[in-house]
Structure 1
Amino acid sequence: MPRDPLRYVPHVLVASVGYVVFAYAALPDLLTARLGIGLSEFGLLMSAPLAAFVVVQRPASRWVGEHTSTRVLFAGGVAHVALAFTLDLSTSFPVVLALRGLWGFAGGLLLSVGATHISRLADGTSGTRQQGVYGGLLTFGGMLGFLFAPTLVERFGWLALHAPGAVVAIPGLAVCAHSLSDARTAPTGTVAAGGVVLHPVVLLAATCYVAVIGSYVTLSTFVTAYFDDLGVLASLNAIVLGAATTGRFVGGETAWRFALSDRRLVATSTGAAAVGFGALAVTGNATALVVLPFVVMLAVSIPFGAVYNLAAEATDAEGTALATVVAVGNVAAVALPPITGTIREATGSYAGAFLVLGTLNAVAAAATYYTMVRQI
């Protein structure tokens, strides 16, 4: 049986989004010098698109409830590509910040609608598997940004920073253009939005996503600067993003192959992440300080697909459920990078930020375990 190219559209688009989100994080020193800013303002360059990720979720849930997810992905993908090409046209921090925020509306739309698209074409452990691959390709795109952005900027100038990431999306848009009315990606049900938002399983998934995406975004934003502080010159930042990609792939594959429940996977992984962040905050061992970021990134990445699938299967309105989870999670992701930058500048250490992330993961693990025990 020939493979269905429509199944791969979200994966292609989200890899492109990942590149654009994290290309800046590969160049903290060059960017702060180019824009004349400090680490707190640098953190805002990550928070601006993530804030837009939050705001766009309400219209995203409405649009994907009225149209095929293919049609919404096509519209959002065109906007994403066009805006990505404009991000490097200015050296003014306010202008760049505004452009990052504007692009975030397209990126956030693609993120939740892509997950909805997957849930309409796959369910059960197959859905968890595909959501894991989806999340893994988001971080893979970011890893490509870490690997190639410095070289591209050095050789071709700043206008080559985001353009390669935008180009990645074009094959996905071509497939969408030929399948805009495919009935398989049409809405599957109608449930009152309030009932979805307040559904206990959706609230659980949102709580877990706060820990998962908040940890991932914070680590990704500051991992380059973190290793610079340690005097590590190797390109470990890209390897940390590789750990995130591996974790999301492994989490989805594990759930699929061993029929592991989404909640058990989430509880175990976030619990391990909580322990790892706590160790990062208190250890003074040089080897541990280098190794533990890989461990915690792997731990917070494993449950990504399970969290998305948990939300998607909670109600018939999978688009609204996933948009709710993405919105709530990204509220934390908006706040954490500038908070982390402020903690680092005030204390000279990332220990305080690691304690915050450890607490978030501990709450996620405890909440998930509670629902398992109470069979909620």
Structure 2
Amino acid sequence: MTTHAARGRKLAPHLAVASVGYVLFVYAAAPDALMAEYGVGFTEIGLLMSAALGAFVLVQVPTGRLTAQRATTRLLLYGTAVQALLALSLDFVSSYPALLAFRALWGLAGGFVLSVGVTHIARLYSGPAATRQQGIYGGMLTLGGAVGFALAPTLVEVGLLHSPGALLALPALALLVRERNDVLTLPTGDRSEGTLWSGFTLAVALASLCYVAIIASYITLSTFITSYAADLNVTGPLNVAVLLTATAGRATGGVAVFKFSIGDPWIIAGATTLATVCFAGLAALGPSPLTLMLPVAAMLAVSVPFGAVFTVASNATVHEGVAIAVVVAAGNFAALVLPAVTGALRDATGTYTSGFALLALLNVVAVGAAALLGTKQFSQIQHS
């Protein structure tokens, strides 16, 4: 029978990452209010996401080292507490430069929590159960963002846009404080080997390629879906719908692996194949009422393999925390670059055709990487 302690240990990362998702995305739901308050334009608003995602990448080096040496329960406690305090501070800065700086500081804490939470789950679960939990974990991240998008128009009027993210962290903190002396999430490998190279294998490299396609597609779609739909005279809370689609896709992908014994590499390959078709269709057909559902289908497709990628990476080496840090760093670097590239292509050509074609190409690479991961010959090489 599952004890209260075990349930709390397993539930805590899901609650913690929902808070991270809220703070990461919420500001993007109220750009007009922030531009008016700080006297800035769209470029500066975009930099607020870049600052956070850039920090996500930078923090993976120390995160990989710490997770190779410490229990993730205690690391998750400290990281969640810091990101909650920084989330509160974001509502009390008086200038844009200060807001940008604090978004970067918060990104260091938020990226730390994201990676430690994935490692925490990898140490508590194995096999299909791990993939299911990683999918739910990813879904909680996007669910937090969807909550932020839904509440932002109301919250911005009272000047408390980011603070509810700290409130969302409180249940996780309560559980983690109770379990702070947990030893079940200690690393199993040699704790003296905590560098990124110690967790870098060919399987981790291939998983990183898959994650690059997944996260670059997900962030780019989240950024431009409203603008794409506006070209078709379609308006509404599309940002909320997109993140809810991602939530459903990530959770569904994890459950599918658990229920139907689908191999992790093959669910990655199948989902990214569908994503490739969707993006190629968007590039070939251009904006029209007939293609409006393709971005939604693409978002679903790139969300399904989220949990499977992390399971593949964590199974590739005894240094699972370091491997996960490599994957997270690669994906978030792509997420930092691709929206800017897509926006530049849109400005240069007047359409999203080139941007969608680039995303299709990235997903083709992911299909190939996942197929290689799934071959028996590759599995034999990895375990020889």
Partner amino acid, structure 2, of 1:133: I
Corresponding residue number in structure 1 for 2:365 = 363
Superposition map of 1:1-376 within 5 A: 1=1, 2-3=3-4, 4-90=7-93, 92-154=95-157, 156=158, 159-190=159-190, 192=193, 193=195, 196-284=198-286, 286-373=288-375, 375-376=377-378
Shift of 1:303: 0.1
Shift of 1:292: 1.3
Cα deviations by residue, 1:10-69 (Å, 9 ceiling, x for unpaired): 000101100111112222343344444444433322111111111111111111222210
Partner amino acid, structure 1, of 2:104: G
Instruction: Say what the alpha-carbon RMSD is for the aligned residues.
Output: 1.8
Cα deviations by residue, 1:293-325 (Å, 9 ceiling, x for unpaired): 110000000000000111111111111111111
Percent of counterpart pairs with the same letter?
49
Shift of 1:197: 4.2
Q: Distance in 2 between matches of 1:285 and 1:213?
A: 23
Q: Which secondary structure does the structure 2 equivalent of 1:59 belong to?
A: helix
Partner amino acid, structure 2, of 1:303: P
Shift of 1:147: 1.0
Partner amino acid, structure 1, of 2:206: L
The answer to whether the Cα contact below 8 Å between 2:76 and 2:116 also exists between their aligned partners in 1 is yes
Partner amino acid, structure 2, of 1:343: L
Q: Which secondary structure does the structure 2 equivalent of 1:188 belong to?
A: coil
Partner amino acid, structure 2, of 1:293: P
Measured at CA, do residues 29 and 231 of structure 1 come closer, stay the same or move farther in structure 2, by a change above 3 Å?
A: farther
Q: Distance in 2 between matches of 1:56 and 1:184?
A: 24
Measured at CA, do residues 149 and 208 of structure 1 come closer, stay the same or move farther in structure 2, by a change above 3 Å?
A: same
Shift of 1:362: 1.0
Shift of 1:235: 1.5
Partner amino acid, structure 2, of 1:150: P
The answer to whether the Cα contact below 8 Å between 2:33 and 2:156 also exists between their aligned partners in 1 is no
Cα deviations by residue, 1:100-134 (Å, 9 ceiling, x for unpaired): 11100000000010001001111100000000000
Measured at CA, do residues 196 and 273 of structure 1 come closer, stay the same or move farther in structure 2, by a change above 3 Å?
A: farther
Of stretches 258-267 and 224-233 in structure 1, the one that deviates more from structure 2 is 224-233
Q: Distance in 2 between matches of 1:314 and 1:95?
A: 41
Aligned length: 373
Q: Distance in 2 between matches of 1:269 and 1:64?
A: 30
Partner amino acid, structure 1, of 2:153: P
Measured at CA, do residues 371 and 176 of structure 1 come closer, stay the same or move farther in structure 2, by a change above 3 Å?
A: closer
Cα deviations by residue, 1:142-185 (Å, 9 ceiling, x for unpaired): 1111111112213x2xx311111221011111111111121111
Shift of 1:8: 0.6
The answer to whether the Cα contact below 8 Å between 1:143 and 1:241 also exists between their aligned partners in 2 is yes
Where does the alignment leave 5 or more consecutive residues of structure 2 unmatched? 379-384
The answer to whether the Cα contact below 8 Å between 2:118 and 2:134 also exists between their aligned partners in 1 is yes
Measured at CA, do residues 104 and 296 of structure 1 come closer, stay the same or move farther in structure 2, by a change above 3 Å?
A: same
Measured at CA, do residues 289 and 145 of structure 1 come closer, stay the same or move farther in structure 2, by a change above 3 Å?
A: farther
Question: What TM-score do you get using the length of structure 1 for normalisation?
Answer: 0.94
The answer to whether the Cα contact below 8 Å between 1:10 and 1:114 also exists between their aligned partners in 2 is yes
Cα deviations by residue, 1:249-295 (Å, 9 ceiling, x for unpaired): 11000000011110000011111111111211232352234211110
Question: What TM-score do you get using the length of structure 2 for normalisation?
Answer: 0.92
